[in-house]
Amino acid sequence: MKTTTKLFKALSDETRLRILKMLEARPLCVCEIQHVLKGSQPNVSHHLKTLSEAGLVESKKDGLWIDYRLSDKPATPLHAAALSLVKKSLDGEQVIKKDRTLVKSVNRIEITLRK
C-alpha cells in the first residue's frame, strides 16, 4: 500500500508531471530542470527526490552532474502503467510544449558558466 501511495503522491503535482514529461526527451541534471522550470535548486531537488522515492525516476552520476531519467525498470506493473499514461498524455498542454522547446536548447555547461 505504501508503494502505491508514494506513486500517486508523486503524480499529484503539476511540477512533477512537468519534470516527467521533460525527462521523456533525455536525461537532465538539476540545473537544466531548474532552468526550464525557473525554480529554485532545493525545490527541484525535492521534486526529484519524491519522483525517485516513488520509483518513477532514476539517477546516475556523470562527472560533475547527476543525470535524472525515467525509470527503465518500473517497480510494479502499476508503476509501468502510470509512466505509460504520463507518456501518452499532457502533450497538448501549452506548458508542456513550452518545456519541450526549452529542453531541446538547455545546456548544463552554459548554465554553469553563467553562474
- pLDDT (average), residues 68-95: 91
- pLDDT (average), residues 48-76: 93
- pLDDT (average), residues 53-59: 95
Q: Which domains does the chain have, with CATH numbers?
A: 2-114 (1.10.10.10)
Predicted confidence (pLDDT) at residue 115 exceeds the cutoff of 70: no
Predicted confidence (pLDDT) at residue 19 exceeds the cutoff of 70: yes
> Any alpha helices (H) in 12-107, and if so which ranges?
14-25, 30-37, 41-53, 77-88, 94-105
3-state helix, strand, coil in the chain (%, to 5): 65, 10, 25
